[in-house]
């Protein structure tokens, strides 16, 4: 099996580089590797690998080394290519991918997986956000509002870099939540589902989930399963700033679902209508701001990618 690595050396404030350096020296299997040089580069590299290797008909493995953003880019480059398996070594700060999908932890695991003749994988769904007429895929979740605002604040934060340096990267999201609670402006949204429309006022965020976790371990959508052909849309609205802060404590345990200000619906597709400028993200990567009269379609893409799975006690 051909083995490719796509590495974001900057992920986790340099953890990507450290992880790759160690792995590179230890790997016994032949491999090719590609270092990302700018935001979005991971998509182009993955596309290029797929274009070059698909013709052979041979199965090949692409391993992303980085955080959720790097894995997100690799997935958007691979798309529905049938003979590609996707794996990851988590080297970011949030690493929500690793909470629902198996990841490699060592060169030994990778060597063992590649050498197996009967490599195991699981076919999963992903979500799609139609943004400016382009379909953007997400593996973990996509969101509009406060969670995107927090991701934006976290990505710009110098404090995040300091926390990463101290090995406390997971705290950076909590810090950004605290800061954003006092600055974020709530918005109104109309959700269309199954031909019915419902309006929500004073919304903090709308999150569409393919797996339970977001923001570095918060269990926003406990019932989400990445291969059930469905997405879960969660809305938090009409909540005071103080109660929102309390909610972010309960969300680590999934207890927030009992709040009357939390609504969740499940379906294959949703359409959102928004009239304000609100930040949006897919897998924590900022897409931009909605505009006046924005219409965002969101749908599941069933069983469209293959994730490496536990194999002979290796992972
Ligand atoms: N060479 C590079 N220079 C600057 N940005 C890069 C480079 N390579 C990748 N990126 C971008 O860095 C961003 C963050 O990457 P990633 O999400 O992997 O790490 P992280 O933010 O540390 O982890 P997490 O998302 O799990 O918190 C992504 O938007 C990615 O496109």
Query: Which atom of ligand 1 is nearest the CA belonging to 37?
Result: 1
Does the beta carbon of 73 sit less than 6 angstroms from any atom of ligand 1?
yes
- Give start and end residues of each alpha helix (H) in the chain: 11-26, 41-53, 68-78, 97-100, 107-115, 146-156, 158-165, 170-181, 241-250
Residue ranges of domains in the chain? 2-119, 130-302
Of all residues in the chain, what percent are helix, strand and coil, respectively (each to 5)? 30, 35, 35
Ligand 1: which residue has its CA nearest to atom 10?
Answer: 39
Distance 263 CA to ligand 1 centre (A): 31
265 Cβ contact list (under 8 Å, min separation 6): 191, 193, 232, 233
Confidence at residue 176, expressed as pLDDT on a 0 to 100 scale: 79
Q: Which fold has domain 2-119?
A: Rossmann fold (3.40.50)
Ligand 1 pocket test, candidate residues 6, 7, 11, most atoms within 8 A of CB: 11
Confidence at residue 296, expressed as pLDDT on a 0 to 100 scale: 96
Does the beta carbon of 70 sit less than 6 angstroms from any atom of ligand 1?
yes
Confidence at residue 207, expressed as pLDDT on a 0 to 100 scale: 96
Q: How many whole angstroms separate alpha carbon 154 and alpha carbon 284?
A: 10
Confidence at residue 217, expressed as pLDDT on a 0 to 100 scale: 87
234 Cβ contact list (under 8 Å, min separation 6): 205, 206, 207, 208, 209, 220, 221, 262, 263, 264
Token pair in block for residue 280: 């949006």
Token pair in block for residue 303: 């069983």
Distance 233 CA to ligand 1 centre (A): 26
Ligand 1: which residue has its CA nearest to atom 4?
Answer: 38
262 Cβ contact list (under 8 Å, min separation 6): 234, 235, 236, 247, 256
Confidence at residue 178, expressed as pLDDT on a 0 to 100 scale: 83
Ligand 1 pocket test, candidate residues 7, 10, 41, 101, most atoms within 8 A of CB: 10
Does the beta carbon of 37 sit less than 6 angstroms from any atom of ligand 1?
yes
Q: DSSP string of 147-179? A: HHHHHHHHHH-HHHHHHHHTT-THHHHHHHHHH
| Topology match between the domains 2-119 and 130-302 | no
Indicate if the alpha-carbon torsion angle 216, 174, 177, 156 is positive or negative. negative
Length of the chain: 315
Secondary structure (3-state) at 36 = coil
Q: How many whole angstroms separate alpha carbon 142 and alpha carbon 138?
A: 7
Enter the CATH code of domain 130-302.
2.60.200.40
Q: How many whole angstroms separate alpha carbon 284 and alpha carbon 298?
A: 16
* pLDDT mean by block of 10 residues, the chain; 315 residues: 96 94 96 98 97 88 97 96 94 92 96 87 96 94 93 71 67 77 95 96 97 90 97 97 89 89 97 96 94 95 92 48
The DSSP call for residue 13 is H
* pTM for the structure as a whole: 0.92
């Amino acid at each position: 099996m051909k083995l490719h690595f796509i590495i974001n050396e900057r992920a986790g404030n340099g953890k990507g580089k450290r992880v790759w350096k160690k792995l590179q020296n230890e790997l016994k299997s032949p491999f090719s590797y590609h270092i990302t040089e700018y935001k979005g580069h991971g998509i182009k590299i993955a596309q290029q690998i797929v274009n070059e290797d698909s013709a052979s008909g041979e199965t090949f493995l692409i391993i992303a080394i980085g955080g959720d953003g790097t894995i997100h880019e690799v997935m958007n480059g691979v798309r529905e290519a049938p003979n590609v398996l996707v794996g990851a070594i988590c080297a970011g700060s949030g690493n929500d991918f690793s909470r629902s999908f198996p990841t490699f932890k060592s060169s030994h695991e990778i060597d063992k997986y590649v050498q197996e003749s009967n490599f195991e994988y699981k076919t999963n769904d992903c979500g799609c956000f139609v943004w400016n007429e382009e379909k953007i895929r997400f593996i973990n979740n996509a969101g509009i509002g406060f969670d995107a605002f927090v991701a934006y604040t976290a990505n710009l934060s110098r404090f995040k870099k300091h926390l990463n340096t101290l090995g406390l990267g997971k705290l950076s999201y909590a810090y950004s939540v605290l800061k954003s609670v006092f600055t974020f402006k709530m918005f109104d949204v109309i959700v269309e589902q199954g031909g019915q429309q419902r309006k929500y006022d004073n919304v903090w965020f709308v999150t569409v989930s393919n797996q339970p976790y977001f923001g570095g371990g918060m269990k926003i959508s406990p019932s989400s399963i990445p291969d059930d052909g469905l997405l879960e849309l969660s809305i938090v609205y009409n909540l005071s700033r103080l109660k929102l802060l309390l909610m972010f404590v309960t969300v680590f345990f999934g207890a927030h679902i009992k709040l009357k200000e939390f609504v969740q619906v499940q379906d294959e597709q949703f359409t959102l209508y928004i009239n304000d400028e609100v930040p949006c993200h897919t897998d924590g990567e900022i897409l931009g701001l909605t505009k006046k009269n924005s219409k965002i379609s969101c749908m599941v893409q069933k069983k469209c990618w293959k994730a490496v799975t536990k194999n002979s006690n290796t992972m």
